[in-house]
Amino acid sequence: MIIWWPFAIVIYTERVPKDSAGVANGFVVRILPEYRDDKGLLVHELEHVRQWWMHGLTIHDLLYLFVRRYRLWAEVQAYRKQVAVYPTEHFEHYRNAAARLLVRKYNFGICLKKAKRLLS
C-alpha cells in the first residue's frame, strides 16, 4: 500500500533493513506492514523526511552517514516526535525504549542515562 503525504511517499512493504520497522530514504518512507497503525513510527520517519527537505537533500544524507553527531541529533529529534505521539501516561515507557535504541542500535557511544536526558 502506498500513501502520498504532502512531501513524502509512505510505502508499507517487507523491504526494510534488517532490525528496522521503518526507514526513510529521501522523501520515500518504507514501513513494515505490521506497523501500519503505529503513528509514532510514522511520525519518526516523516521527521527524517522533513530533515532531508530542510537540510539540503544530499547534504543531509552525507551528514547522516558520515557525521555521528549530526546522526545523533537527527535520531533524537525523530524519537522525540515519536514518543510525543503516544499517550502521556506511557511517556516514560516509550522514552526508555527509545533511549535503549539510541544506545544499542545506532552505536553512538552514549550511555543510557545520556540517551534519556537527550530525549527529555
Residue ranges of domains in the chain: 2-119
Q: Could you tell me the pTM of the whole model?
A: 0.90
Nearest CA among 35, 64, 33, 32 for reference residue 47: 64
What average pLDDT does the segment 12-18 reach? 95
Classify the C-alpha dihedral 27-97-64-117 as positive or negative. positive
Q: Which three cell numbers stand for residue 88?
A: 502521556
Tell me the mean pLDDT in the region 43-49. Answer: 95
Would you say 52 and 32 are in contact if contact means Cβ atoms under 8 Å apart? no
Q: Residue 12: phi, psi to the nearest 5?
A: -95, 115
How does residue 58 score in pLDDT terms, banded at 50, 70 and 90?
confident
* Mean of per-residue pLDDT scores for the chain: 92
Query: Which residue type is seen at 106?
Result: Y
How many angstroms from the chain centroid is the CA of residue 23? Answer: 7
Q: What proportion of the chain, given as a percentage, has pLDDT over 70?
A: 96
